[in-house]
Amino acid sequence: MSNKIIPKFPEFADICYELYKEIREALSKEQPEISEHSPGFMFGYRKSLNLSISRLNNNLILKGCYGGENLIVSPIGRNQLPETFFACVKYIKEVLKTGRIGAIPKTIAMKMKGFGFDSFSDRDDFDYIYSVKELTLLSGEKFHAKKNLVNGFIKRYSYEFKPLDSVLIPECLLLHQRWCDLKSCKEDSNSNAEDRMVVELLHNFDNWKLFGGAILINGKVQAFTILEELNANTAVGHVEKANTEYRGIYQAINQFAAEKLLQKYKFVNREQDVGEPGLRKAKLSYNPVSFAEKYYIQIS
């Protein structure tokens, strides 16, 4: 058994499976509200964002690089927050020279304002929060088009919905590779980061307490989703991929997951739109009940 532990700030360690238990324990105490404070995010993007981790005032600190800019993610934990933020600002100024503290939940940003920290809203980073009950029932005019697409899919195709497991993982990887080829994701930094994240989660599906489901048509996986518990009331959806040759399949995997996998939760966090217009339109079309608003502090 490994004796590796998260080092004390300002030392950082690469995120690895040996630290999983320590990270999970910290998150279970915090009951986080933002997608960045989930093991799926940390482990999924650890390589793409060059993430490393430290412990400061009994909070966890994530350091990385996003869009060519140094980033420290809002601390995991609520201990001595003013002192923790001051230490992070000092570290960015003296060691990194420039960067930002990002993904700061609104409640924390407002609290830190009283200690002289000016933060700015980051709309592109807001997480979309949906009602599991609404996504299950798709009732009313606002979900009329989605309901029709799901019903059409059910009538049109002979399918199975199965919980995701190790037997289905290889086929999910094949479907994802086809998606990646269509999107030319190796040539786009955002798509490339997402590609690496999906592969990372699929390869470590059992290790990181993820769950999910897949739609099979003619015995082949044509859609899959990967989810994770974020807090006692909320799951977070990290991945949703589908073969769009099958009309309504994205709407179907969304509804099937809500009905068959998410009933113990009240909400599902479906992460941010990163400012991409098409993704924003798609996420808004599912009528979020709220947003997990996030802020950032720019340091230069």
Q: Are residues 19 and 117 in the same domain?
A: yes
Out of 126, 153, 172, pick the residue that ends a domain.
126
Q: What is the pLDDT of residue 108?
A: 97
> Is 33 a member of any domain?
yes
pLDDT more than 90, % of the chain:
91
* Phi (first) and psi of residue 42, to 5 degrees: -60, -50
pLDDT average, residue stretch 107-119: 96
> Is 283 a member of any domain?
no
Tens digits of per-residue pLDDT, 39-97? Answer: 999 999 999 999 999 999 999 999 999 989 999 999 999 999 999 999 999 999 999 99
Q: Please give the mean pLDDT across all residues of the chain.
A: 95
Q: In this structure, are residues 95 and 10 in contact, taking their beta carbons and an 8 Å threshold? A: yes
Q: Are residues 122 and 149 in the same domain?
A: no
pLDDT average, residue stretch 182-211: 83
pLDDT average, residue stretch 196-216: 95
Q: Are residues 88 and 151 in the same domain?
A: no
> Is 238 a member of any domain?
yes
pTM above 0.85? yes
> Is 282 a member of any domain?
no
Q: Are residues 135 and 266 in the same domain?
A: yes
Q: Are residues 141 and 115 in the same domain?
A: no
- Does pLDDT of 187 surpass 90? no
Q: How far apart are CA 49 and CA 197, in angstroms?
A: 10
Does the N-terminal peptide bond of residue 10 adopt cis geometry, omega within 30 degrees of 0?
yes
Tens digits of per-residue pLDDT, 116-133? Answer: 999 999 999 999 999 999
Q: In this structure, are residues 39 and 229 in contact, taking their beta carbons and an 8 Å threshold? A: no
What's the start-to-end Cα distance of the chain, in Å? 42
Burial 117-144 (b: 16+ CB within 10 A, else e): bebeebeebbbbbbbbebbbebeeeebe
pLDDT confidence bin for 3, thresholds 50/70/90: confident
Q: Which amino acid is at 146?
A: K
Tell me whether strands 99-105 and 69-76 are parallel, antiparallel or unpaired: parallel
Burial 226-244 (b: 16+ CB within 10 A, else e): bbbbbbeebbbbbbbbbbe
pLDDT average, residue stretch 88-112: 97
Q: Are residues 39 and 146 in the same domain?
A: no
Give the CATH number, domain containing residue 78. Answer: 3.40.630.30
Tens digits of per-residue pLDDT, 211-255? Answer: 999 999 999 999 999 999 999 999 999 999 999 999 999 999 999
Q: Which residues, other chains included, contact 133 with Cβ-Cβ below 8 Å and sequence gap of 6+? A: 266
Q: What is the pLDDT of residue 109?
A: 97
How many C-beta atoms surround the C-beta of residue 11 within 10 A?
10
The parent domain of residue 239 ranges over: 127-271
Q: Is 291 helix (H, G, I), strand (E, B) or coil?
A: strand
Out of 77, 109, 126, pick the residue that ends a domain.
126
Tens digits of per-residue pLDDT, 132-155? Answer: 999 999 999 999 999 999 999 999
Q: How far is CA 152 from the centre of its chain?
A: 29
Tell me whether strands 52-56 and 13-14 are parallel, antiparallel or unpaired: antiparallel
Inter-CA distances, 107 with 45, 112, 113, 222, Å: 25, 9, 10, 40
Q: Are residues 201 and 240 in the same domain?
A: yes
106, β-bridge pairs: none
- The dihedral region occupied by 218, where left means phi > 0, alpha psi between -120 and 50, and beta the remainder, is left
Q: H/E element holding 105?
A: strand 99-105
Out of 126, 151, 182, pick the residue that ends a domain.
126
> Is 151 a member of any domain?
yes
- Does pLDDT of 190 surpass 80? no
Q: Are residues 179 and 59 in the same domain?
A: no
Q: How far apart are CA 161 and CA 15, in angstroms?
A: 33
Q: How far is CA 230 from the centre of its chain?
A: 9
The tokens for 247 are 């009309």
- Does pLDDT of 261 surpass 70? yes
Q: Are residues 122 and 90 in the same domain?
A: yes
Q: Are residues 79 and 179 in the same domain?
A: no
Total domains in the fold of the chain = 2
Q: What is the pLDDT of residue 1?
A: 42
> Is 216 a member of any domain?
yes
> Is 1 a member of any domain?
no
Q: Are residues 85 and 146 in the same domain?
A: no
* Phi (first) and psi of residue 45, to 5 degrees: -105, 10
pLDDT confidence bin for 179, thresholds 50/70/90: confident
- Does pLDDT of 293 surpass 80? yes
pLDDT confidence bin for 167, thresholds 50/70/90: very high
> Is 288 a member of any domain?
no
- Does pLDDT of 2 surpass 60? no
Q: Are residues 140 and 256 in the same domain?
A: yes
